[in-house]
């Protein structure tokens, strides 16, 4: 039997693939072990440092792509969502696409906070938002809110206190859709 005929058999390739997998698993460094992330220390969990419900939301003054400056203190009096996004993040793009057609009631507010002027301009040009897109050029506001990733959406009440937050897609979209809806009481 020739070598070419031998290599045409599917069982041969199955054996070769299994041997390669065994070699890969046996020879890989221990540091690249394929295991789920488990946070054993609270400080190791990136969500352990985020702002918690009831904490005062840090005030900010950021330039808007549309012009002018927006401050959190100017938003007080109405509940607001602060959406931390980037232009490059595919999950932020999905959220932005959904929010493009989303309408809040008159007593609610939504603000986008984007790292970098170019990214903020790109978001503003790509989507026809009626909400302000703010430029966090130094990342100071993202740091003050301790955002663990994007998209992160914080809900701030009319008094300027954090109500809740969510990270990622699709939880961010579900969170936004539920914004302002009356929550069922615990007894019902």
- pLDDT tens-place string over residues 64-79: 999 999 999 999 999 9
Q: So where are the chain's domains?
A: 3-30, 46-177
3-state secondary structure of 109: strand
**Which residues, other chains included, contact 138 with Cβ-Cβ below 8 Å and sequence gap of 6+?**
none
* Tens-place pLDDT, residues 118-171: 999 999 999 988 899 999 999 999 999 999 889 999 999 999 999 999 988 888
- Residues 162 and 56: their CA atoms lie apart, in Å, by 6
Per-residue pLDDT band at 36 (split at 50, 70, 90): very low
- Say yes or no to pLDDT of 40 above 70: no
Q: CB count, 10 Å around CB of 84?
A: 27
Whole-angstrom Cα distance, residue 20 to residue 88?
Answer: 36
Give the Cα separation of 97 and 101 in Å (integer): 8
144 phi, psi to nearest 5 deg: -65, -35
Max Cα–Cα distance, the chain, nearest Å: 84
pTM: 0.70
Options 3.40.30.10, 3.90.1170.50, 3.30.1330.180, 3.40.50.720; CATH for 46-177 is: 3.40.30.10
Judged by DSSP in three states, 15 sits in helix
Task: Report the chain's mean pLDDT, rounded to a whole number.
Answer: 81
């Amino acid at each position: 039997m020739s070598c070419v005929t031998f290599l045409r058999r599917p069982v041969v390739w199955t054996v070769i693939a299994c041997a390669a997998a065994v070699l890969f698993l046996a020879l890989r460094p221990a540091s690249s072990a394929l295991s789920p992330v488990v946070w054993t220390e609270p400080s190791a969990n990136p969500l352990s440092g985020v702002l918690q419900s009831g904490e005062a939301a840090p005030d900010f003054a950021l330039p808007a792509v549309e012009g002018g400056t927006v401050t959190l203190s100017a938003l007080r009096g109405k509940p607001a969502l602060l959406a931390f996004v980037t232009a490059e993040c595919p999950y932020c793009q999905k959220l932005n696409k959904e929010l493009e057609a989303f309408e809040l009631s008159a007593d609610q507010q939504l603000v986008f906070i984007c790292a970098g002027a170019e990214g903020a301009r790109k978001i503003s040009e790509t989507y026809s938002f009626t909400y302000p897109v703010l430029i966090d050029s130094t990342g100071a506001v993202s740091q003050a809110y301790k955002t663990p990733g994007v998209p992160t959406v914080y809900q701030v009440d009319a008094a300027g206190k954090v109500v809740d937050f969510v990270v990622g897609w699709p939880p961010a979209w579900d969170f936004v859709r539920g914004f302002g809806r009356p929550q069922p009481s615990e007894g019902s």
